[in-house]
Amino acid sequence: MGGGSMVPRGMSFRSALAAGYVEAWRSRPYLTWVKSLPCVVCAGAQGASDPHHVTGMFRGTGKRAPDCLVLPLCRVCHEQLHAAPKSWEAQHGDQLMHALMALTQAIHQGVLGVGGGGADKDP
């Protein structure tokens, strides 16, 4: 199989990743940018020194979520999330939503080489 093979119709991304049809996107520059953001929980002065890859979506695949699915957290808040994910989400919100907000901000700021103001704006 390997990256680049055609994903069978109807196969979920999770299954395609586990089967090796697709590879998880990795980007050190994006992770560095996420670290420059404030922690989504405490907004502490140390910033998001320890970005967290969204958990749960890829359970059982032996894979970590792609780098586009990280949320900005400091070390303390990251440890709290891992200690009790369900109660963390009940208190602070869904991991995926936080990750998508960071990704949206990156797109609007042109961090990924796309966007930079929103697709609905006139040139």
Q: If you search the block for the tokens 């069978």, which residue do you land on?
A: 8
pLDDT at 12: 81
- What six digits make up the tokens of 11? 């196969």
Task: Name the nearest CA neighbour of 63 among 24, 113, 7.
Answer: 24
In sequence order, the β-bridge partners of residue 71 are 52
* φ and ψ of 80, to 5 deg: -65, -40
Tens digits of residue pLDDT in 1-51:
445 567 888 888 777 877 777 777 889 999 999 999 999 999 987 788 999
Tens digits of residue pLDDT in 74-114:
999 999 999 999 999 999 999 999 999 999 999 999 998 76
Burial-class residue 48 by CB neighbours within 10 Å (0-12, 13-18, 19+).
buried
